[in-house]
């Protein structure tokens, strides 16, 4: 009995430690750079990695939340672009106002999309895909199709200033959002309900969870977090781009999956996503340090995503289990292989 419990505990730890294991490996590779290259990582590289995770990390958190709820919000990059554009457009005199307008727009987008998805029971992918296209169009209308420069350079300089050698106000804001979402997911009933809705929607509805509210809340949260990420980034780089392209999405999805969020829904933590984000950012920083061309890091990132997604795929695991079961020749093998023959 005792060994069984210990086995269970061990399995739980090994199941949830994946993200931190990966993070640990990347940190080792980062610290150990001089061992396999002529370069060494500096304090500034850590700062840099945290800066790049400040924008894309929030995007990963947003997509991660939608995945925990059993949905997939493709419009996050669209809101990210819109938030950046609105902040640059309206935040010249008061950067705070710009961020607030971006957040407000995010809330409206989230309410509309979440309302459609929750009330009508439509899959989130086509709705948020239409939303993504519409949002890119809207952003392009606001900016008349061009990148817009941000005149208020002080705001960017303030956000980018070094604090405690590794951090900046921007990356600290990112960490604060992660902490807030993490606390919400871990300690509150809302967090539990969110995982329940993602794990088994019908059962959670039958158990009295207000699934519609949770879903609308999810899409409001994802959109507002994405808008914040876009707004802060555009202040920092002092410009807003109407079309961020596909790279942010690849980073965000890879980080969320590396962070232990599953596409089936119901599983994942903010801390895990943070580990995934930091691992990827440090990995990219390593590529920067050893001066690998952009396409190599793209290849590695894409290849990593392929591996992660293949492991997340339900039937690959089933097939492996069925092969393993057949090798062990347990009685269950007959049942498993009968299903997949």
Partner 1 sequence: MNAPAGVETVAEPAAGVTGSPRASRVRRLLLIGLQGLVAAAAVLAVVAAATTQGFFSVGNLQAILSSVGFVGIVAVGMTVIMISGSFVSMSLGTQAAVSAIFFVWALKFGVAPAILMTLVLGLLTGALQGYVIGGFGANPIVLTIAAVAVLEGLVVVFSSGGTVTPPDGAYTFLNSTVAGLPVSFYVLIGVVVIGEFIMRRTNFGKRVYMVGDNREAAWSSGFRMGQIGAGVFGLAGVTAAIAGVLLGAYNQGASLLLTGSLTYDAIAATLVGGTLVAGGKGSVWKTLAGAIVIAAITDLLLLRGYSSGVQILVKGLLVIVVVIVVHLRSQGTR
- Report the nearest approach of partner 1 to the CB of residue 153 (Å): 27
Q: Which is nearer to partner 1, 196 or 249 (CB)?
A: 249
Binding map of partner 1 across residues 243-262, x = CB under 8 A, - = no contact: ---xx-xx--xx--x-----
- Report the nearest approach of partner 1 to the CB of residue 316 (Å): 4
Binding map of partner 1 across residues 287-306, x = CB under 8 A, - = no contact: ------xxxx-xx-xxx-xx
- Report the nearest approach of partner 1 to the CB of residue 321 (Å): 13
What is the Cα Rg of the chain in Å?
A: 21
Round to whole Å and give the CA distance between 318 and 65. Answer: 26
Give the number of other Cβ atoms within 10 Å of residue 274's Cβ.
26
Residues 309-328 that bind partner 1 (CB under 8 A): 309-310, 312-316, 319
- Report the nearest approach of partner 1 to the CB of residue 242 (Å): 8
- Report the nearest approach of partner 1 to the CB of residue 328 (Å): 22
Near partner 1 by CB under 8 A, which window of 5-13, 88-96, 139-147, 230-238?
139-147
Near partner 1 by CB under 8 A, which window of 86-94, 116-124, 157-165, 223-231?
116-124
Round to whole Å and give the CA distance between 216 and 218. Answer: 5
- Report the nearest approach of partner 1 to the CB of residue 88 (Å): 16
Q: Which is nearer to partner 1, 239 or 262 (CB)?
A: 262
Residues 66/219, Cβ–Cβ less than 8 Å: yes
Crossing angle of the two packed helices 294-312 and 247-258, in degrees rounded to 10: 40
- Report the nearest approach of partner 1 to the CB of residue 272 (Å): 17
Exposure b/e, 176-201, CB count within 10 A at least 16 = b: ebbeebbebbeeeeebebbbbbbbeb
Output 91-96 pairs: Cβ under 8 A, ≥24 positions apart. 91/150, 91/152, 91/155, 91/231, 91/235, 92/150, 92/151, 92/152, 93/152, 95/152, 95/155, 95/235
Residues 153-192 that bind partner 1 (CB under 8 A): none
Pick the closest to residue 59 from 76, 40, 37 (CA basis): 76
- Report the nearest approach of partner 1 to the CB of residue 290 (Å): 17
Token readout for 46 is: 């850590």
Residues 45-104 that bind partner 1 (CB under 8 A): 72, 74
| Using rule CB under 8 A, residue 141 touches partner 1 | yes
Q: Which is nearer to partner 1, 5 or 341 (CB)?
A: 341
Q: Helix H segments across the chain? A: 2-16, 18-31, 33-36, 43-68, 76-90, 95-120, 124-143, 153-160, 169-187, 189-199, 201-206, 211-236, 247-258, 270-289, 294-312, 314-328, 332-340
| Using rule CB under 8 A, residue 194 touches partner 1 | no
| Using rule CB under 8 A, residue 29 touches partner 1 | no
Footprint of partner 1 (CB under 8 A): 72, 74, 116, 118, 120-123, 125-127, 129-145, 201-202, 242, 246-247, 249-250, 253-254, 257, 263, 293-296, 298-299, 301-303, 305-306, 309-310, 312-316, 319, 339, 341
């Amino acid at each position: 009995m005792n060994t069984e419990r210990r086995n269970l505990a061990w399995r739980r730890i090994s199941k949830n430690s994946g993200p931190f294991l990966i993070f640990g490996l990347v940190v080792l590779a980062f610290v150990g750079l001089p061992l396999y290259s002529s370069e060494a990582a500096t304090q500034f590289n850590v700062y840099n990695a945290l800066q790049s995770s400040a924008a894309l990390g929030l995007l990963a958190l947003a997509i991660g939340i939608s995945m925990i709820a059993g949905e997939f919000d493709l419009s996050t990059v669209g809101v990210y672009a819109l938030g950046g554009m609105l902040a640059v457009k309206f935040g010249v005199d008061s950067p705070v106002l710009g961020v607030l307008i971006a957040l407000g727009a995010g809330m409206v987008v989230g309410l509309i999309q979440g309302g459609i998805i929750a009330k009508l029971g439509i899959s989130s992918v086509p709705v948020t895909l239409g939303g993504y296209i519409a949002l890119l169009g809207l952003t392009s209308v606001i900016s008349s199709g061009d990148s817009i420069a941000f005149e208020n350079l002080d705001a960017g300089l303030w956000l980018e200033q070094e604090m405690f050698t590794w951090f900046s106000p921007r990356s600290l804001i990112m960490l604060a959002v992660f902490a807030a979402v993490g606390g919400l997911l871990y300690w509150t009933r809302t967090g539990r309900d969110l995982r329940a809705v993602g794990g088994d929607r019908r059962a959670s509805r039958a158990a009295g969870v207000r699934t519609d509210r949770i879903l609308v809340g999810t899409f409001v949260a994802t959109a507002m977090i994405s808008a914040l990420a876009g707004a802060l980034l555009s202040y920092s780089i002092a410009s807003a781009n109407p079309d961020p392209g596909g790279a942010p999405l690849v980073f965000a999805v890879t980080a969320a999956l590396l962070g232990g969020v599953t596409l089936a829904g119901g599983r994942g933590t903010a801390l895990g996503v943070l580990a995934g984000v930091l691992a990827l950012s440090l990995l990219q920083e390593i590529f920067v340090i050893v001066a690998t061309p952009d396409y190599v890091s793209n290849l590695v990132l894409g290849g990593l995503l392929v591996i992660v997604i293949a492991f997340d795929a339900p039937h690959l695991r089933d097939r492996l289990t069925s092969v393993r079961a057949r090798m062990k020749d347990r009685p269950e093998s007959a049942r498993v292989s009968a299903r997949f023959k």
